[in-house]
Amino acid sequence: MASNSGDERTDLPGFFADLVRCETRLYNDLNDRLRARHGIVTSQFEFLRYLRDHPGCRVADVAGEFAVGIGATSKGIDRLEKQGWAARQPNPADRRSSLLALTGEGRKLTDAAERTFTARLTELLGDVPGPAVAQVFSRLRAALERDRIGMPTG
């Protein structure tokens, strides 16, 4: 189905395919670079970065940010803990949950990996995602998140 915008038509299935294939290739390339330079994969980097930028968050907060299930998120945090990069701390407001924090080693790793991640994205994308493109994706993401579209059911 095509979308009308004046006389222009967008092949929405084609746009979707381009979007997903670009994301997959970027993710895989970044995964390879992070693994080679820091011994982590992209999903671990994203979790670590979230923990750094949201101190005291809970597993549910991380799951909501990445639209993944609580169980998968908890297992991911377990792996970060096992490596000594993250720690669970008791939540004084709710004994059933824990607050998450980066360790000193986790912060060092995250900061170093972020430099690698940003440098590689700059190499790959240059100025391709100009401000207008970035704004479109930001608005799309905000709308999807507002309406809780694509959130896991379990």
Q: What three-state secondary structure class fits 3?
A: strand
Question: Class for domain 9-127, per CATH?
Answer: mainly alpha
Task: Note whether 74 and 47 are within 8 A (CB).
Answer: no
Please list, in sequence order, all residues whose beta carbon lies within 8 angstroms of the beta carbon of residue 68, skipping any fewer than 6 positions away. 152
- What per-residue confidence (pLDDT) applies to 86? 98
- What per-residue confidence (pLDDT) applies to 1? 43
* Per-position pLDDT tens, the chain of length 154: 445 555 578 888 998 898 899 899 999 999 999 999 999 999 999 999 999 999 999 999 999 999 999 999 999 999 999 999 999 999 999 888 899 999 999 999 999 999 999 999 999 888 776 777 778 888 888 888 888 888 876 5
Please list, in sequence order, all residues whose beta carbon lies within 8 angstroms of the beta carbon of residue 105, skipping any fewer than 6 positions away. 84, 85
Q: Which amino acid is at 131?
A: P
Output the six-digit token pair for 148. 């809780």
Helical (H) or strand (E) element with 101: strand 98-102
Give the span between the Cα atoms of 140 and 121, in whole angstroms: 21
